[in-house]
Amino acid sequence: MFKALIAAALLSVTPQSDVPQLNENNIPEVIAAMTVEEKCALIIGGRAKDFNGIGFTNIGVEGAAGVINGIPRLGIPTVVLADGPAGLRISPTRKGETRTFYCTGYPIGSMLSSTWNLELVEEAGKSIGNEVLEYGVDVLLAPGANIHRNPLCGRNFEYYSEDPLLTGKVAAAMINGIESNGVGTSIKHFAVNSQEFNRLANNSILSERTLREIYLKNFEIAVKESQPWTIMTSYNFINGEHASESSRLLTDILRGEWGFEGAVMTDWSGGYDDAQIVRAGNEMIQPGSDSRFKKLLAAINDGSLSMADVDRAIERILKLVVKTPKFKGYVPSQTPDLEAHAKVCKKVADEGVVLLKNEKAALPVSREQEIALFGTTSYDFIAGGTGSGDVNRPYVVDLMTGLSNLGFKLEPEVDAFYKDYMAAEAIRCKRINGNNKWYIDRERAIEVIPVELIEKAAETADAAMITIGRVFGEGKDRDYYHSYCLSDREQELIDCVSKAFRAKGKTLTVILNVGGFVEMISWQDKADAVILCWQPGQEGGNTVASVLCGEVNPSGHLPSTMSTEYRLEPSFKNFPQAVADKPYNYSFYRHFTDRKLPLNTVKNIDYTNYEEGIYVGYRYFTTYAPEAIAYPFGYGLSYTTFDFKDMKVAAVEGGWNVTVTVQNTGKVAGKDVVQIYVKAPKGELDKPERELKAFAKTPMLAAGESCELTMYVSKESLASFNEKTNSWEVDNGKYTFVAAQDAMDNSLKVKVQVN
């Protein structure tokens, strides 16, 4: 039916020579020549019938997420949209083709931000964008830029940080990198999309100040510093109004205040009132469906949606179309340089590894040493998260392989045990998982504790390592007990290995191969070293092995706060699956078809109260609960040491230049990150203890070498949003600029008078 409607729309008028053919200078004429059905066909995306599950289509490029329908009569090509933030997600096979179409699996968003290296993130974007171009896709549905409000959010792996500045800057770097290839992006999910449970109908309730300073500020920075071709609105409501239907959000703020010039699309099946969606400034409704096509056509024909609003949407879509490689007739090679991209993938991952703990000189280990490698995940490394943010990668290097690649000797009996065990577990898990790769939890190997092997290995091996793995994803938030906490078996394994190796004066290193934080306090004292390698993409094992042996000196810093206990999180009471007496037993899409929305009946499911306001992450912990910080925002160790000195703050146009000299005071080369926080004077509004206002990463500094970093802090970035005046205001008074290693550090301070 939908196909018939589209076909009818597209062929309703036989092509005549005087029919305008789209180009960047005749968009008004093309709009004037379009039939109403053709206009609907441009707004309503590629038909859902071709989708095998949300986010797949076979129109354009197999496995892409969707398309903007083409209108051949007017020279409008089909524009292909595909996910996602950790690499292009398309099918690795195509009908009638014997070759494959794998895409490079890059590190997850949280690992990109952990590099605090914007140039490197842009380089990753360039690389990803080249695969988008060469595989024939026009717009990549990335980056994911929502805020890490709570550690249990199922999509935190795709997002960058608890801080809007770090998020916005990393997103802008990613967008600029990707779009440098002449392809588009779609920063998402706009906005305040901080949980997965009941995501299609959850109502985010928050103050205007919280909205402006935290949950829009990330998108504001990204839009102003990168001009993304498109933005994807989120599934949720914001204070009772659906994100895709909000004129205030999409017209007044996004375009009116921030100067966004691109086009807006819904998330897949997002939004409810299609006429209001278009009226509000959300131009594309993805994916297409019969009902949404017919409803939109009816709304135009009955006048409830004005032709002026429709034509404004069509103009924005056509301005997007004329920028695409498809429109420009680019012929994709279908052979991007995956080998070169794999090197970029590793280079980025190398800088995103965060060294959390390193005692008794546990790390780096020399390659002469024999490693007893434990943990099922060491043999089944996790490259990324699940759902639309997944990637069909050519391979994933696990830690066992990565260590072997660098010439490490593995304790042979432990290695043989895990190889046998994992082969059996692979069969068991395959039987359970089938081919379901989509967002539902996948069965993974069950942890084992080979006690005798552990004790024997402690005699012969030089050091022990355990990898703890966590994978989760779209459509579901993490479970406190089964995902955030370590399992009894994991605790027992760490305990057993720690005791056996420490009894021999040997060390244990724990590697966290996770998409988001896990509980730390109950076990970390049993480990001499802990590294957070996130989900590092397809080269994961090689990256971790390079760090373990010191070939790479870790320079990652936390993009969010690791708290001592989940219950101490500021959003603990206002998040689904809080450590409830009884887990919720409800469907993920509680109101998917119920149009009487939003409902404010069930707390944290139908509505979520952002009661913590602007006090998210370190803004909360440094102000109200420093003792609840296990590892602070911005924290990261190195195999060397650094000293900050000679901090200066010089007033310049519109703000200040902050300069800091960083010296490598240790014995090996390394990189460090200088963070500039600002503490505002007491004013009418309450303010957090400190807020990140700038940061920079040093180049590689040799032992003893120094460099001077200059970071710009704009005056407007000191402003707070005053709800009384509905405006941004900078209080007069004495501000403290802090140059720090992390959110709890006070290395250097300079007072600055602001009038």
C-alpha closest to that of 268 among 65, 562, 454, 556: 65
- Name which of 385 and 469 has its Cβ closer to ligand GLC: 385
- Whichever of 287 and 469 has its CB closer to ligand GLC, that residue is 287
Q: What angle do CA 145, 151, 155 make, to 5 degrees?
A: 45
265 neighbors 233 (Cβ within 8 angstroms): yes
Q: Which residues on neighbouring strands pair with residue 595, listed in sequence order?
A: none
Residue at token pair 């949209």: 81
Residue 538, classed as helix, strand or coil, is coil
Burial of 303 (0-12, 13-18, 19+ CB in 10 A): exposed
Closest to ligand GLC by CB, 271 vs 636, is: 271
Bridge partners of 529, per DSSP, are 358, 509
> Does residue 372 sit in helix, strand or coil?
strand
Q: Tell me the C-alpha distance between 263 and 232, whole Å.
A: 9
Q: Which is nearer to ligand GLC, 146 or 358 (CB)?
A: 146
- 55 vs 281, beta carbon nearer ligand GLC: 55
Q: How far is the CB of 216 from ligand GLC (least distance, A)?
A: 18
**Which residue lies nearer to ligand GLC by CB, 160 or 631?**
160
The minimum distance between CB 61 and ligand GLC, in angstroms, equals 13
Longest dimension (CA), the chain: 87
488 is catalytic: no
| Single-letter residue type at 318 | L
Joined together, the tokens standing for residue 37 give: 């059905």
Query: Do 103 and 383 contact (CB within 8 A), yes or no?
Result: no
| 288: Cβ contacts below 8 Å, ≥ 6 apart | 2, 6, 44, 45, 46, 47, 48, 66, 69
The residue at minimum Cβ distance from ligand GLC is 55
Q: Are 205 and 239 in contact (CB under 8 A)?
A: yes
In whole angstroms, the minimum distance from the beta carbon of 571 to ligand GLC comes to 21
DSSP state of 486: P
In degrees, rounded to 5, the angle at the alpha carbon of residue 557 between the alpha carbons of residues 555 and 559 is: 150
The nearer residue to ligand GLC, 234 or 246, going by C-beta atoms, is: 234
Q: C-beta of 29: minimal distance to ligand GLC in Å? A: 33
Judged by beta carbon, residue 389 or residue 576, the one nearer ligand GLC is: 389
Count Cβ neighbours within 10 Å for each residue of 281-299 and write b for 16 or more, e otherwise.
bbbbbbbbbbebbbbbbeb
CB of 101 to ligand GLC, least distance (A): 17
Question: Min. distance of Cβ 630 from ligand GLC in angstroms?
Answer: 30
Q: How far is the CB of 289 from ligand GLC (least distance, A)?
A: 14
List, in sequence order, the alpha helices (H) in 234-382. Answer: 247, 274-280, 290-301, 307-321, 338-350
Q: Give the DSSP H or E segment for 169.
A: helix 164-179
Q: Which residues bind ligand GLC (CB under 6 A)?
A: 54-55, 65, 83-84, 141, 188, 267-268, 388
Shortest spacing between CB 81 and ligand GLC, in angstroms: 8
Beta bridge partners of residue 467, listed in sequence order: 511
Catalytic residue among 83, 163, 267, 380: 267
**Looking at the annotation, which residues are catalytic?**
267
